[in-house]
Structure 1
């Protein structure tokens, strides 16, 4: 490397901006998923192009497209990212046995982060005064190798190499509505009654429709009168009385605003896994948080399964 930050003096933050935009597919998506604003990302990419003397990406109606120079720059940036990640992992491994202090970054879906993790993390922070937690609420998959997170909670079995993963259990799913909605529209007694009710579903994702179908309750898209891919907004709409929607039993059990309907409906549960990079798992602080979450979430799952 010829400069202080990268080849030919390139700023690593500019290269990170390139990676973020290329992976997200657009400047706006990268801004939503990351911590930088769209103008900041635009400025960094422009600066990087000026330093390299080449156009790195072209914008179109479908998002951005990397040029040949952009693909070359991205390959170099990914190599630097991987090198930095491995250095960080090695440092974490050397730091084991020094006590439970420092930062652990956890990522989970917005539903799990919002409704299930806060009490578990509160207990952990009380027990470990030297521990700091960074909590990332995201429905996007984070790369544990590149230290986008130290620990990830996922609704599927992780397959990435070099991960330590443990299945916490199965999250039961049920149908729910607000009492006020049921007072106005009645409580469905049979699956056929759902055709007379207002249902809530996801928008671009077909997860809710597939769940209904798997339970023997197929519904056309039009039956879902309110649709949102933001799972927290979706659940809040259920609780506000907008209609009947699906939700995790573990979340609903803590929410007095909703009542379960058609409890006999055989809606398939979701798997819950916790994962960390194998080298990070040897870190005392990561191991402590990992084990605490496995135990705490295991209790939650067992109580509502």
Structure 2
């Protein structure tokens, strides 16, 4: 029997069904027909010769254990294919093409857009894809070309440059303080509305590691979205922690316990070492280092 070659088209359809849970939804998302998606799954099963990838359930198609074990590899193929397309863009030598960036929610939403705007104005041929997430993108798998990370990179094969330490502090809106009063001590915070995390997160763990007795139950506003936390502080819901730079842009925010409640986040700009010689990537990398270094230094100013 002739062996069926593994096809990226079949793997892409596999990921589509895995994400959507149905042949029809995967077909709509990919622009293919439902019979084509079904045929791709069948051919992939035959190529792998290891059993069924999906089983029918009341909620649609559910991945089997085999499918679950294949998903990370299919995602790596997808990321590599996307990276290949980005590498091909601007290949004529001009500083043009696509750069995919990953950054934390707050950095991605609050800090990077002005920097990317300035780069885009100087080099209109560069397109940007921005992933604003607190999850660490795998640069070796090419989930992104360049990442702004708040921890020192641990992976090898990466180019990394520290941009500085960003200061965080505790703030409350003046309207909240007028309504609830200003806490006179850290112990008094237990009588106030605190903005914080819903689940155990890396940020919460970092605060606990430096002696902050923080538990989920003390927060009156719970969310793992850092941008939503910042919005709640700005709206006057309660007391929370944010970057001093961002607080400085809102004159109605008042800093609390400046000596006791001051924290620092390392900030690193990283990319895969294979991109070192790409002019487009190097330009964006260097501009990010410059602007994030300025952002970090500015955060050290007392507010």
1:179 paired residue among 174, 191, 204: 174
The alignment status of 1:262 with 2:257, answered yes or no, reads yes
Q: Which residue of the partner structure matches residue 246 of structure 2?
A: 251
Name structure 2 gaps, 5 residues minimum. 46-50
Give the Cα–Cα distance (whole angstroms) in 2 for the partners of residues 38 and 169 of structure 1. 46
Q: Which residue of the partner structure matches residue 33 of structure 1?
A: none
Give the Cα–Cα distance (whole angstroms) in 1 for the partners of residues 258 and 27 of structure 2. 45
Higher relative contact order (CA 8 A, sep 6+): 1
- Give the structure-1-normalised TM-score: 0.77
- Does 171-180 or 260-269 show the bigger shift? 260-269
Give the Cα–Cα distance (whole angstroms) in 1 for the partners of residues 284 and 237 of structure 2. 37
Q: Which residue of the partner structure matches residue 17 of structure 1?
A: 16
Q: Which residue of the partner structure matches residue 129 of structure 1?
A: 124
Q: Which residue of the partner structure matches residue 65 of structure 2?
A: 67
The 3-state SS of whatever aligns with 2:276 is helix
**Structure 1 residue 304: Cα displacement:** 1.2
1:143 paired residue among 138, 146, 150: 138
The 3-state SS of whatever aligns with 2:109 is helix
The correspondence of residues 94-243 of structure 1 with structure 2, limited to 5 A, is 95=91, 98-207=93-202, 209-210=204-205, 212-214=207-209, 216-243=211-238
Task: Verify the 8 A CA contact 1:215 1:268 in the aligned structure 2.
Answer: no
- The alignment yields a C-alpha RMSD, in angstroms, of 3.6
- Give the structure-2-normalised TM-score: 0.78
Q: Which residue of the partner structure matches residue 56 of structure 1?
A: 53
Give the Cα–Cα distance (whole angstroms) in 1 for the partners of residues 26 and 104 of structure 2. 22
Structure 1's 227 and 79: CA in aligned 2 closer, same or farther, altered over 3 A?
Answer: closer
Count of paired positions = 283
Structure 1's 9 and 145: CA in aligned 2 closer, same or farther, altered over 3 A?
Answer: closer
Give the Cα–Cα distance (whole angstroms) in 2 for the partners of residues 243 and 192 of structure 1. 16
Structure 1's 300 and 143: CA in aligned 2 closer, same or farther, altered over 3 A?
Answer: same
